[in-house]
């Protein structure tokens, strides 16, 4: 085989590989096309025909596919063929954006809060009682049940309120024995209505209206006279047996507290 056919085949192979690998960016810069007249015919008659296998063209990122050239072994019909394929732009596969509506916020129901006024401490009569405002729900939840004080042991009809009064040394018209009934008022007492009223005013639960003066009391040394009184009977369902005198300031005050049940007596100074 002569050197000319080898040189022509080698040049043809190099040009095909360069074009197929995308080294030539511009088709105008490619190697000149080969024609049957450029290569002697006797070179092809001496060598067997060879087939050049083409390699799929690569696609540049921003350009179309590189041109390809198909060459057959027959020099008489070898015409360069350039195939240029442009990849169509694919539409975006992303579907339409779906917006999920947010669930409406549920408003919490408004619960009215009531305010209850409860006394915090007891006040003296005639003074305003201080109060403290607390929610009604808390007042109901933390309500402390205070047991009610039992009423004094007084019969409902009070038919047993009967007292016998014996007075000595009070003076004419005051000494003697008197009977008094209350609820309803009756007896030979000079003023049963006023006598029962003063006894009711001095009756308190847990306290004896006829109790004596405490032994440790500090009393003034005043002589209120020789008058004495002795009371027996039943009052407010309890038996009564009490003695009264006017020997000092404490005894005088105790006596005067039950007037007009006890007769009035003038104070006399001690010599």
> What is d(CA 4, CA 44) in angstroms, rounded to the nearest whole number?
10
70, 81 contact by CB (below 8 A): yes
Strands (E), the chain: 68-69, 82-83, 115-119, 131-135, 162-168, 176-181, 186-187, 228-235, 238-245
Grouping H, G, I as helix, E, B as strand and the rest as coil, residue 156 is coil
For CA atoms 74, 5, 8, 53, the dihedral sign is positive
How many CB atoms neighbour CB 226 within 10 A? 14
Q: What do you get for the CA distance between the two ends of the chain, in Å?
A: 182
Strands 131-135 and 162-168: unpaired
Return the pLDDT at 247: 93
Return the pLDDT at 10: 72
Write the CB contacts of 218 (distance below 8 Å, at least 6 apart in sequence): none
233, 181 contact by CB (below 8 A): no
> What is d(CA 260, CA 39) in angstroms, rounded to the nearest whole number?
166
> What is d(CA 34, CA 154) in angstroms, rounded to the nearest whole number?
144
Dihedrals φ, ψ of 199, to 5°? -70, -40
Grouping H, G, I as helix, E, B as strand and the rest as coil, residue 29 is helix
Return the pLDDT at 16: 74
Return the pLDDT at 104: 53
Return the pLDDT at 207: 85
* Joined tokens for residue 68: 């390809």
Residue with tokens 């350039």: 82
> What is d(CA 202, CA 182) in angstroms, rounded to the nearest whole number?
14
Residue among 39, 48, 31, 35 nearest 5 (CA): 39
- Give the domain ranges of the chain: 3-80, 162-257
Dihedrals φ, ψ of 28, to 5°? -70, -25
> What is d(CA 264, CA 258) in angstroms, rounded to the nearest whole number?
10
Give the predicted TM-score (pTM) of the model. 0.42
Return the pLDDT at 13: 75
DSSP summary character for residue 169: S
CATH code at 162-257: 3.30.350.10
* Joined tokens for residue 162: 């009967």
DSSP per-residue string spanning 58-87: PBPSSSPBPPEE---S-TTS----EE--PP
For CA atoms 250, 251, 257, 263, the dihedral sign is negative
Average pLDDT per run of 10 along the chain, which is 271 residues long? Answer: 58 73 50 49 47 52 44 44 48 52 56 52 48 47 47 52 96 94 94 96 89 94 94 94 96 96 68 35
Grouping H, G, I as helix, E, B as strand and the rest as coil, residue 228 is strand
* Joined tokens for residue 231: 């009371």
> Side-chain half-sphere of 224: how many Cα atoms within 13 Å?
20
Return the pLDDT at 9: 73
């Amino acid at each position: 085989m002569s050197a000319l056919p080898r040189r022509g085949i080698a040049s043809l192979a190099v040009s095909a590989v360069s074009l197929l690998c995308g080294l030539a960016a511009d088709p105008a810069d490619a190697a000149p096309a080969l024609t049957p007249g450029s290569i002697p015919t006797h070179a092809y008659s001496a060598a067997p025909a060879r087939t050049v296998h083409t390699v799929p063209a690569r696609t540049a990122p921003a350009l179309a596919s590189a041109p390809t050239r198909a060459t057959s072994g027959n020099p008489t019909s070898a015409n360069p063929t350039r195939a240029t394929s442009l990849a169509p732009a694919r539409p975006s596969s992303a579907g339409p954006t779906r917006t999920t509506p947010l669930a409406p916020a549920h408003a919490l129901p408004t619960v009215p809060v009531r305010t209850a006024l409860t006394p915090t401490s007891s006040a003296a009569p005639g003074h305003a009682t201080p109060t403290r405002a607390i929610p009604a729900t808390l007042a109901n939840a933390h309500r402390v049940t205070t047991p009610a004080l039992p009423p004094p042991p007084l019969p409902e009809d009070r038919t047993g309120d009967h007292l016998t009064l014996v007075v000595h040394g009070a003076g004419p018209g005051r000494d003697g024995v008197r009977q008094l009934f209350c609820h309803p008022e009756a007896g030979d007492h000079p003023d049963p209505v006023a006598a029962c009223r003063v006894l009711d005013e001095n009756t308190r639960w847990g306290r004896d209206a006829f109790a004596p003066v405490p032994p440790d009391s500090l009393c003034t040394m005043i002589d209120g006279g020789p008058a004495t009184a002795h009371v027996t009977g039943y009052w407010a369902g309890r038996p009564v047996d009490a003695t009264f005198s006017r020997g000092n300031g404490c005894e005088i005050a105790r006596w005067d507290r039950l007037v007009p049940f006890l007769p009035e007596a003038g104070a006399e100074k001690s010599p």
